[in-house]
Amino acid sequence: MEKLTHYRELIQKVLQDYGKLGTNSADAHDSIDDRVATQYIFDTQRDHYQLAYIGWENNNRRLFGPVIQIDLKNDKIWIQYDGTEIGMANELVALGVPKSDIVLAFQAPYKRKWTEFASN
């Protein structure tokens, strides 16, 4: 249980740190600009964590979607969606999470065995 508590805290920190890259201050609900908001969606009871951008781009194009979706499942971190350049798996490994505890869930199950991360 201690490991999962640590992973919950780590995931929330990584998502908040990444979300702040699109803002001009440390406030979690600041906007990327006047029309686009950064939202953190943390379901700590079911272990679903998401960073999303919501709003309007150039006042005419609706922007709504996740940037990162991470779940905790079977004592492992499952990266469901990763819209970052550096990669959340790399961020988590740099923070001490073993590759054997990270599943690249956005990869087809048959392909996961060829990655350096957990297959399930």
Model confidence pLDDT, tens digit, residues 19-68: 887 654 444 444 455 678 899 999 999 999 999 999 988 888 898 899 99
- Kindly report the three-state secondary structure assignment for every residue of the chain: CHHHHHHHHHHHHHHHHHHHCCCCCCCCCCECCCCEEEEEEEECCCCEEEEEEEEEECCCEEEEEEEEEEEEECCEEEEEEECCCCCHHHHHHHCCCCHHHEECCCCCHHHHCCCCCECC
For residue 106, how far is the Cα from the chain centroid?
A: 12
Domain ranges of the chain: 2-112
User: Does domain 2-112 fall into CATH 3.60.40.10?
Assistant: no
Model confidence pLDDT, tens digit, residues 58-110: 888 898 899 999 999 999 999 999 999 889 999 999 999 999 999 999 999 99
Q: Is the pTM of this model over 0.75?
A: yes
